[in-house]
Amino acid sequence: MFQTVEMPVWALVLLVAFAAVTFASHFLFPSVRWFFRRRLERAVAELNKRLERPIQPFKLARRHDMIQRLIYDPEVTRAIVAHAGEEGVPENVAFETARRYAREIVPGFSASLYFGVATRLARWLSHALYDVRLDHRDEAAVAAIDPQATVVYVMNHRSNMDYVLVTYLAADRSALAYAVGEWARVWPLSRLIRAMGAYFIRRKSRGDLYRKVLARYVRLATDGGVAQAVFPEGGLSLTGALAPPRHGILKYLAEDRPPDARDVVFVPVALNYDRVLEDRVLIAAAAEGTRRFRARIGAVLRFVLRMAWLRLRGRYCRFGRAGVRFGMPLSLNGFSGDVEALATGLMDRIADEMPVLPVPLVALALQRAGGRLPGAALPGAVAGLIAALPVQNRPAQDADALTREGLQELRRRHIVQESGDAIEVPEAEKPTIAFYAASIRHHLPADSADAARISASARL
């Protein structure tokens, strides 16, 4: 028993390595995980004291546990059996397919990353790029939402800056969970986005099993009180106008709710910009009739480097205003109607709250004049538009100030040019003018070709 045993050095190294891994996995790692878990719980408890809507335990559950809960959900189990029968595969194969879907969808939220890094970065980036203007139709109504209700922010989708802007503006209320598409599944971006609490969806998937796994995750998160942000349009607006709503996520939120389910309160959020960062890409995609955007990482890096160079030279200017307006909340418990009526009604509310900013105003005035106006007449044309707007949508500034601000941004980008004493839109820039004008044209129904697309028949 106490005799000397000889062995090769490589075998000794291997033996020590196995022993170290066993010790770490059974004793060290659990202790370290417990230590950091306790620190996280204390940090979240302190964070919840200042949040209007505390972070729910569901959002803090371990990702592995959430995946297990999802794939063993009774409805998902029935969908697995049905999928196996339809596809003619063993049930264990169908089960692994469901597990793969669950791993793809379920996020791994990190409160420290979300509130320690993301919200601060969102705040800095929002104010670095825009003059942010926030407005509430009735702030007291938003503040009075039942603390036990699940809040869902329903927004139009103008730019990828929407994620950044709303994350910053909602940072004192709660952590938001976004539904993001396939574009965000690229490593290492996917790991960062999952840590932010976003969940992935395949927008073009038609498989019943996938849809059931996604629907059950959305339902579990909603029943768990997780605040969410959704874009009913399903993608960025290619024309600048509001697009008809899709029913996917709203259907998962609203249908088949048990009588004792937690209330869901929808808060409409209207977003508009004096400059949409992706406007050229979106306009080109609309002209080609495709949603295959040609933006490349090289173009993004060139843009960032150019902005940094301008800042170093002291010539950097922000891109005008970013307007955000919160509308009147809608309780699902107090709503009577189908999902289509719900989606259309929410889009109507977003349309009603759309901020009216300087560039869209000037763009609409120039578009109505055929792309050319005497410089002295432009403020009067803008004033006429303001007078025709609904009272609740009229900007606080006078027409002269708004015209100067809008023209400054359009001149900087060479979208308009001066021809004698007139302001003229070059032929190549008329689609850009139309893009920005379309964002507010629905406020003037007599001048809007798109107003019929946002039906008022189900107005709430």
| DSSP one-letter string for 210-256 | HHHHHHHHHHHHHHTT--EEE-TT-S--SSSSPPPPP-HHHHHHHTT
Tokens standing for residue 37: 């878990």
Task: Tell the burial category of 48 from Cβ atoms under 10 Å away from its Cβ (0-12, 13-18, 19+).
Answer: middle
Q: Using alpha carbons only, give the angle 137, 141, 147 rounded to the nearest 5 degrees.
A: 140
Quote the DSSP letter at residue 429: G
Please say whether the beta carbons of 105 and 199 come within 8 A: yes
Tokens standing for residue 72: 């063993």
pLDDT tens readout for residues 51-109? 666 666 666 677 888 889 899 999 999 999 999 999 899 999 999 999 999 988 888 77
**Average model confidence (pLDDT) across the chain:** 82
The confidence score (pLDDT) of residue 138 equals 75
Does the pLDDT at position 351 exceed 90? yes
The confidence score (pLDDT) of residue 399 equals 93
Task: Tell the burial category of 351 from Cβ atoms under 10 Å away from its Cβ (0-12, 13-18, 19+).
Answer: buried
- Which helix (H) or strand (E) segment is 84 a member of? helix 74-87
Does the pLDDT at position 183 exceed 80? no
Distances (CA, A) of 92 to 68, 81, 209, 214: 15, 9, 14, 20
Does the pLDDT at position 190 exceed 80? no
In terms of average pLDDT, the best of 16-25, 247-256, 363-372 is 363-372
Sheet holding 422-424, edge to edge: 372-374, 422-424, 417-419
Between 37-41, 80-84, 173-177, 423-427, the lowest mean confidence (pLDDT) is in 37-41
Does the pLDDT at position 252 exceed 50? yes
Domains and CATH numbers, the chain: 104-277+319-353 (3.40.1130.10), 358-458 (1.10.10)
Give the residue from 384, 417, 415 showing the smallest Cα distance to 399.
384
